[in-house]
Amino acid sequence: MSFRCSECGAFTTRGEELGSFDLTVTVAPQTLARYQRLLTTNTPPEGPELAYIRAIVSKTGARLTRLDDEISVLQDRLKQLEEERSALGDYHVQNTAMLSPLRRMPAEVLSEIFSWTLSPVHAPLTVKRLRDSPWVLTHVSSRWRAIALSTSSLWSLVYIEYPGIYSLAMIRAQVDRARTLKVHFSGSQRRDSRPQTEMFK
């Protein structure tokens, strides 16, 4: 926006579009008119316009430098806040987890819940993975591991895919954990059955 001096007729321009930054430069009316045309053409500036443009460049350059410094300070502060929030968030999650009802749930109730995570004995055969039940239950917490290992029924369905995902040692461990229960064996239809049966000889 331009303001005309009532005494000399010169114009003072202010960069209203630049927000709170006060870009105040005094310029003659004819210079301001030529400057306005320069903004939309490729015409080279001449003496009066050069002085005016250089004044603008000097002011905006100084302001940009200050803004960069302020942004750098704010970025450092933002990084500190993000690091603090991350650490505090982890601590909050840890303490919130201690209030979980699962911590107070009796072992026999958890054992019953664990049993419902198993596939039925006569369910269609699917590929078993180490992240499936019951193996995954032993890697949640020491309490869950102890309960899972003491629940024989979790280990009474043995899936045989040998050689494959389950090693012979894992199958033996599962049979041992089933204790005195009847053990059901399921084989793989995707592999040769001979290695699966010969492992028991």
- In the chain, which ranges are continuous DSSP H helix? 29-38, 47-98, 107-115, 142-150, 168-178, 193-198
* pLDDT on residue 13: 53
Question: What is the SS3 assignment for 2?
Answer: strand
Banded model confidence at residue 171, pLDDT cuts 50, 70, 90 = confident
- Of the listed ranges 119-128, 157-166, 187-196, the least confidently predicted one is 119-128
* pLDDT on residue 16: 46
What's the pLDDT tens digit per position in 2-46?
444 444 444 455 544 455 666 677 778 888 888 888 888 888 988
Q: What is the mean pLDDT of residues 165-175?
A: 77
What's the pLDDT tens digit per position in 79-128?
999 999 999 999 999 999 899 998 899 999 999 999 998 876 555 444 45
* pLDDT on residue 3: 42
* pLDDT on residue 181: 85
The CA-based angle 18-20-25, given to 5 degrees, is: 65
Provide the residue ranges of all domains of the chain, joining segments of one domain with +. 2-97, 104-198
Does the predicted model carry a pTM greater than 0.75? Answer: no
What's the pLDDT tens digit per position in 36-63?
888 888 889 888 888 888 888 998 899 9
Burial of 126 (0-12, 13-18, 19+ CB in 10 A): exposed
